[in-house]
Chain A
């Protein structure tokens, strides 16, 4: 049939239309008909799909292929080898604790070492010790990491051209080979010198004595990088005791410290802090009492930051200050007046007033000095003697051994070496005189004259490069040993792991080379036998508690310490010559600018430089990491660009700081500046212990030296003692910008007052400085409910203020649809409700808790670059706020960790429920669930959440993007040795995951399991967080709110100084703080 031509030429829908089918015509005219969709559906046509069996096979094939390719990517194989024969004492998953002692030079801390599956992972304080009472220091906490340092020396080696002569392949020389070579060079007439830092071990002394028996021309020289040599010499002069007295800061109502940083670094800070704080905690405000602490110094030390009053004197005026105090006391107490240098009037007036306070507390005061000037120390002894303090606040009954170094001996040795009078020198353990003495160059030249040079150092240092052999000793966690930090206090060191490398204890090496018959060379552990033998013969007879040596030994080994009473020294006849002493004191230099070189809490004299936990622990005062920073007084305009208030925060907040060149006695070094509140005008300060050249890979930041070495700037006085201050010839204008200014907290204060140079009004300086334009918003920082603080005299007012504030906060928080009390009752009335209390009055800011937290919780190290970008990962930080006068402020430290809010802002904002709340009040972070939106961190008012910006822990599957801290070859966290320090109970977090303080939930879990095993309820005393156990002053208390009689409620109930940070925003935090009280004598500065 012929088709009719369609009149619609272009478009047709189908043949129906083309053929003009009548049926189609009809339908197309009925435009508004509905298609019988339902009919089609019922016939199943709509469900007909075009996929068939072939398609299915295609998809399956592709899917399998894609999955195979994806899964064939190289995934690193991680090996875990089970025990073939399980040792008795090791139960997988259960930690064993061994008592031991952390010792490094004169640093001492009795510890319990936590081991898991045979490897030490954490140290805790030993609470049996009456010295430290369970406290620890940051250095002790970090010591466990240096056991697993990849740059440790792995065996005995020859040193050729200043480098360890390591064979390309194989092990290097054996001990026998090296022993033979060394003994071959020794003869019985050789002039042998054993050089080391303070040695507190009686058995080491014995070993050296046995060595000397074979080589009679042996002499031992001890020195300390941060020396107390003058103190020892002065005590010898004054009382015939070459020892550090036993200080009792707890018994002193007035404490005066002349530049002695006894809470941070001086001699035995953990012990002193524990004592000191006993008189500083406020239990009952109705009879609030506190000691008063004066600090005479030029820079803000940790101790100075805790002092009530600081009297600022220049370093060279310390002597004048001591003379002034001496004369003021002598005038009242009938002492011989002396003439010495005089102080500027303002400081002299303050010293007079301070003397009054001391005189009102005769027998209950304590004057200490960190000076290394014999005259000054003699005068300080005289002052204490006049104040009848001997036998009360300090004594020689338990005289301390913790500093034994004598600078004079060291200088004599250097002269002797340069004269060619030394045949052999053995450098004990970590001693590093090529770096940490003022005349290191003379030491270096002297070393060239010495025939045989052997160092026992376990990790690379500057001195090693000068030696012929390195015969590395064990890390203390691999060693046997003993310590006598004080007379009558004994402490054992026991190994907690078999030596990781081919190291040998230095005492054993000495005894072997001496061929001493005292050492049983055939024994499995020769030095253990030697140690036991010495204890049996020398120490066991001194005590009468134990009948047999075996029980004595076992008990001491178990407890870690043994303390025995000593015959009390009651007679203190001061025998010093004060007139002579006054002539010896430092003379004021009269220079415009002086600089002091304090020891830093982290680095000590430099011996801890290779420990990244310490390098990344912020300095308590300037809050900087990875380096030492030249502290410049705020407002000082020494011809430089250091303007006062305006540029205080602005540029540093961008991670930039000025670099200047400092010229001291002709040596010029660049240093990065930090503006420091509390730094005296006309003075600078720069910490010791940085600028190490020859360290392991972690002792360097991005391949460069960390900070500046100040040792070449030190001087030696006429008594041969090292002096830790200098006159600054000049400080240049800014020469460079340090764009990696790694500081975790800038100047921010709680209201430092100063006179505005523009208007002449007294204002809160930081509130102005924090603004880029305009005048600043007065009160914008100070009126925040973060820190509550007051003078002791105003403690009642403060309590009232806190009460008012808390009532107002409660009123605000009541305006909710979800009343907190009901919630608390509903969820927490059964079971536990965990909480914490932090006593700001007890916190001294030492940072032990922070390092303990890092160790316990596998918190990664991120390096200088990353800290400069504010990527630090610390779960617990210590916020430092200044308040008071801007030139001479007080400081309050606030440990800040996750507050475990019951109404947590972080919890409700997480889109994937990775943050939630436990039925015990813990704010829980589920790493697996976290996708990394960081909303929780933004919404955290306390800014305690930490994000894994990069692959810090090398936990990623692919190694290509692993993050290196210091451009190391194998990323810091990736090598199997370093990973041994990880706590297996705590997940290592991967990149892109949020993390934060968990209240050590793994410890809670462990406590619960223990309680369950013992079929009892968990007592909150059972569980202590890492920060709590590390704290030397007991500032942190963790516990259960529901335990009415527990330690937590003891701190909370009826404590009117207790408050919550930012309570008014209704976060219902679980961490309580109690207010900071100072006992500042306001009139002193008036």
Chain B
């Protein structure tokens, strides 16, 4: 740490790394035998994945009646989890795409893992619209495929159909974006490996040689995909929010939902990135690449989006009161004071109150606080979706049909199971691909005007000093 450190701009990578160090640091976890922590984590994750498979099979075999949904509450944990996962799946693409367009260089430290998280979260989210169907074996009905049933197409008016398109597009673009970024790094891994590993990486790196032309195409494609992905970040959750906003149910039927959902998604996505990155940087020793500055920057985003979300909550309450519309008023009164009041309290305290701690720089830069907060926000955002879905459906227009809902073990199992799916995928990812974008991180090792800070930097500096003295 001998380089000249600007008091204003902290270096994005600390530890006086050379380019080679970067390669070594980031690639080595994929090359060594996994440590005990990884093995334990993997066993637990796979166990939960097994639970997922079991509970899903149980549901499909016996029917949705194995859940506690009922004639009043048609969606519960299933769609809550769906929206929650989709929300989590926002940070990756936001970091990659929007921050790329805004030329936020610090993104390079976290974008790879965040994008991977996005993809895995979308995979988890995508399970629920399928599982929650009463007849999953007919799920293909939702695709506009040519059929022999006469001109029978899906209902293009249905927000659920929009979901299908929005999510599949988002997933595709995110996957492409992620993979594009992976190609140079996979080539690096290929170059470092032998035998079968080499063959595999050779295949997946698409013959990358690092030629200038490749870089030029890489940059162009990244930019194009960033341009495509940016509106998608906004559109996916907007469309998910349409599931609710276009309905007639008081508490769902609100125009505020699209921006509110997007803000909430970024909020929860960043929280999940924090959760994962704090563990990853520690376990894989990447503190120099994912620095406190990253954590602080993301905490700032969390603070901002948390307040947007909080504003939305208050706006909803205000609009309900101001509308003079009895059903809307009751729906929100019920949210706060009704039988699900605890969910509302959970949502408010985790999402609106607790992030306020990030007004303090010390807190923003505290790893422990950040980790706890990221968990809080994840819980709070889950509660938010539950409040919107469960509480609203439990009491709508006709008091005769009001109901209450608690999940069965199957529903809880499926949720825990998707966590297993997510972490299994993530843990595999940490073993097979660099969790930090090696090539991109190298690009920010030196800022403009930086001195070389690699090996023998002292010597050189001494030589320079001597020369200067002469």
Contact = CB atoms under 8 A, between A and B. Distances in A.
Interface of A: 10-11, 13, 31-32, 649-650, 653-655, 745-746, 748-749, 766, 770-774, 776-777, 779-781, 783-784, 786, 866, 869-872, 877, 879-881, 894, 896, 905, 908-913, 929-935, 937-939, 941-943, 945-951, 960-961, 963, 990-994, 1062, 1065, 1067
A405 to B, nearest CB: 38
20 contacts: A32-B213, A653-B402, A655-B404, A745-B401, A772-B340, A783-B326, A869-B68, A872-B71, A912-B141, A931-B135, A931-B139, A932-B134, A933-B160, A938-B75, A938-B249, A947-B71, A948-B134, A950-B62, A992-B64, A992-B135
A871 B408 CA distance: 14
Given A748-B402, A912-B141, A934 B75 contact: yes
Contact of A771 (B71, B75, B154, B334): B334
Given A905-B248, A911-B161, A947 B64 contact: yes
Given A908-B157, A909-B246, A880 B400 contact: yes
B329 A780 contact: yes
Nearest to B333: A777
Given A781-B399, A910-B155, A943-B72, A931 B212 contact: no
Given A773-B341, A909-B158, A931-B141, 6 more contacts: A748-B399, A771-B334, A783-B326, A872-B71, A909-B157, A912-B155
B311 interface: no
Given A779-B326, A947-B134, A961-B63, A912 B400 contact: no
Contacts of A939: 247-249
B406 interface: yes
Interface in B173-217: 191, 207, 209, 211-213
Contact of A879 (B158, B329, B400): B400
Contact of B155 (A880, A913, A930, A943): A913
Interface stretch (B27-35, B231-239, B292-300, B390-398): B390-398
Given A777-B333, A929-B141, A935-B158, A951 B63 contact: yes
B329 A935 contact: no
B134 A911 contact: no
A31 B213 contact: yes
B134 A745 contact: no
A941 B398 contact: yes
B359 interface: no
Contacts of B247: 905, 909, 938-939
Given A779-B326, A780-B326, A908-B157, A950 B133 contact: no
Q: Is the interface of A mostly helix, strand, loop or mixed?
A: loop
B142 A1067 contact: no
Contacts of B104: none
B267 to A, nearest CB: 25
A389 B139 CA distance: 69
Contact of B71 (A776, A880, A933, A943): A943
B69 interface: yes
Nearest to A943: B401
A913 B154 contact: yes
B452 interface: no
The 4 closest A-B pairs by CB, nearest first: A932-B134, A992-B134, A949-B65, A870-B70
Nearest to A913: B155
Given A745-B401, A947-B134, A784 B327 contact: yes
Nearest to A950: B65
A1062 B63 CA distance: 33
B360 interface: no
Nearest to B253: A1065
B201 to A, nearest CB: 13
A845 B122 CA distance: 50
B218 interface: no
Contacts of A993: 134-135
Given A654-B406, A933-B160, A772 B246 contact: no
Contacts of B209: 11, 13
Contacts of B71: 870-872, 937, 943, 945-947
B58 to A, nearest CB: 10
Contacts, number: 214
Given A905-B248, A909-B160, A912-B142, A938 B329 contact: no
A955 B29 CA distance: 54
A749 B398 CA distance: 10
B42 interface: no
A963 B65 CA distance: 10
A911 B400 contact: no
Contacts of A1065: 248, 397
Nearest to B61: A961
A947 B155 contact: no
A950 B402 CA distance: 21
Contacts of A960: 61
Given A908-B155, A909-B160, A909-B247, A948 B398 contact: no
A770 B338 CA distance: 7
A1008 B52 CA distance: 51
B339 to A, nearest CB: 5
Contacts of A877: 400
Interface centre among B70, B329, B400, by most chain A C-beta atoms within 10 angstroms, is: B400
A918 to B, nearest CB: 16
A947 B65 CA distance: 9
A866 B134 CA distance: 17
Contacts of A11: 191, 209
Nearest to B207: A13
Nearest to B71: A870
A31 B404 contact: no
A982 to B, nearest CB: 21
B138 interface: yes
Interface string B44-75: 00000000000000000111111011111011
Contacts of A13: 207, 209
B429 interface: no
B79 to A, nearest CB: 9
A931 B191 contact: no
B337 interface: yes
A654 B247 CA distance: 26
A949 B64 contact: yes
B257 to A, nearest CB: 15
Nearest to A862: B65
A770 B164 CA distance: 37
B159 interface: yes
Contacts of A946: 71
A1067 B397 CA distance: 13
A656 to B, nearest CB: 10
Contact of A930 (B65, B68, B134): B134
B73 to A, nearest CB: 8
A786 B138 CA distance: 37
Given A911-B154, A1067-B248, A771 B398 contact: no
B428 interface: no
A939 B242 CA distance: 13
Contacts of B385: none
Contact of B158 (A786, A908, A951): A908
Contacts of B322: none
Nearest to B64: A949
Interface centre among A909, A912, A946, A1065, by most chain B C-beta atoms within 10 angstroms, is: A912
Interface centre among A869, A881, A1067, by most chain B C-beta atoms within 10 angstroms, is: A869
A22 B153 CA distance: 59
A29 to B, nearest CB: 12
A932 B213 contact: no
Given A780-B326, A781-B399, A910-B155, A933 B132 contact: yes
B18 interface: no
B152 interface: yes
Nearest to A779: B326
Contacts of B135: 930-932, 990-993
B393 A938 contact: yes
Contacts of B161: 911
B249 A913 contact: no
B152 A911 contact: no
